[in-house]
Amino acid sequence: MALMERDLNLLILMQNHLVVVGILSQFNMDKQENFLKSLNFPLYNISSELNSYKFSGTDSLSFLDRISTNKIEIFDPKTSSKTILTDNKGSIIDILNYKVLDNSNIIFSLESNNPETINYLKKLIIVEDVEIFEDDVIKKITIYSRKEIIDENNLFSFCFYNINKLRDIIRYEVYFKDNFEINNLSLNEFQNISDSTKELIDIKNNLFEFDTKLKKINPLETGLIDYISFNKGCYVGQEVIARLHNYKKISREIIKFQSNENLIINDAFKSKDNISGKILSVTKDKTEFVGLCLIKKKDVGKISSDFLLI
């Protein structure tokens, strides 16, 4: 009888836990939707100043192709893309936004805006005819819209641009030198949002900006597969990344988290459900902290809420 009573109490506790988790999950879903509904789309955010650089020399294209993940070629000098620097273990060192101007010149910026990456790049130059110069200071504008509002043809004149068509919104990322001006587009009609609001929108869409504090993360587990070419020559870390991709060995996945404590990027953690992971991004949302983290795929099924509680 005592055993049956204990089992019954355990069952009640489990049911209560599921109810609490279910309520929390719905609460977080409603909270996200209400957050987006409170915003007056289109939205924009302009970053502080960033450094830009130029590869110059007859070997510029082959050099960048040799050291990074994307296939570097002149497919259209008007368009831009991203490429990733990885170490010999396939971990991200930095992410470059770039545009090939001609056979000898490439302009680029660093997602981290960290000058140490430039020192690293210079050390990789062996016998190639390529030099790295500091170029103009630029800014980045990020625009969020419920529908397509900018024709890609209107972005060709800017330094770099990226367009992400997400589930609920379209995200435009445009880097410019002097003024951001597009015909028939007035920022006066857009809502200017803070950095924290921008981060909250990106977190909802599992997006984060690379920070050099991040160590031992690879492009495949962080959703950057579009900037990896699997049919090009060797680059640092290629063997590891190819093996992870071909044998489906990606062991971690991006998950949203919620915490009462301010966590630090790259910190390891153990959640209230005894799940271990690494912090990718974090920002404050009123009285709590939210962000993105990497956890093992085998642990994803243990999470019944939209947010991992830390």
Domains of the chain, residue spans: 43-185
Structure tokens at 192: 């200017």
pLDDT > 70? residue 24 = no
17-26, 129-138, 293-302 — which is least confidently predicted?
17-26
171's enclosing H/E stretch is: strand 170-176
pLDDT > 50? residue 19 = no
**Measured on CA atoms in the order 264, 197, 254, 140, is the torsion positive or negative?**
negative
Rounded Cα distance between 309 and 273, Å, is: 8
Better-predicted residue by pLDDT, 32 or 77: 77
Rounded Cα distance between 95 and 88, Å, is: 16
The confidence score (pLDDT) of residue 106 equals 97
Better-predicted residue by pLDDT, 87 or 306: 87
pLDDT > 80? residue 227 = yes
**Can you give the length of the chain in residues?**
310
pLDDT, average across residues 161-186: 93
277's enclosing H/E stretch is: strand 276-285
- Nearest Cα residue to 136 out of 166, 99, 107, 105: 107
The confidence score (pLDDT) of residue 4 equals 54
Better-predicted residue by pLDDT, 216 or 28: 216
The confidence score (pLDDT) of residue 16 equals 43
The confidence score (pLDDT) of residue 82 equals 97
pLDDT band of 283, cuts 50, 70, 90:
very high
Contact 200, 194 (CB under 8 A): no
Q: What is the CA radius of gyration of the chain?
A: 22
In which residue are the tokens 């920022």 written? Answer: 187
Amino acid letter, residue 206: N
Report the mean per-residue pLDDT for the chain. Answer: 89
Amino acid letter, residue 138: I
pLDDT band of 77, cuts 50, 70, 90:
confident
Q: What percent of the chain has pLDDT over 90?
A: 75
Is 43-185 in CATH node 3.30.70.1400?
A: yes
Best mean pLDDT range from 5-14, 31-40, 214-223: 214-223
Rounded Cα distance between 296 and 216, Å, is: 14
Rounded Cα distance between 135 and 57, Å, is: 15
pLDDT > 60? residue 14 = no
Phi-psi category of residue 169: left, alpha or beta, with phi > 0 → left and psi -120 to 50 → alpha: beta
- Nearest Cα residue to 124 out of 62, 80, 72: 62
The confidence score (pLDDT) of residue 233 equals 79
The confidence score (pLDDT) of residue 279 equals 97
Rounded Cα distance between 264 and 235, Å, is: 31
User: Over the stretch 30-65, which tens digit does the pLDDT of each residue have?
Assistant: 566 677 778 999 999 999 899 999 999 999 999 999
Rounded Cα distance between 166 and 142, Å, is: 14
Helical H segments across the chain, by residue range: 2-37, 60-67, 115-124, 195-204, 238-246, 297-300
User: Packing angle between helix 115-124 and helix 60-67, nearest 10 degrees?
Assistant: 110
pLDDT, average across residues 184-209: 94
User: Over the stretch 144-165, which tens digit does the pLDDT of each residue have?
Assistant: 999 999 999 999 999 999 999 9
pLDDT, average across residues 171-181: 94
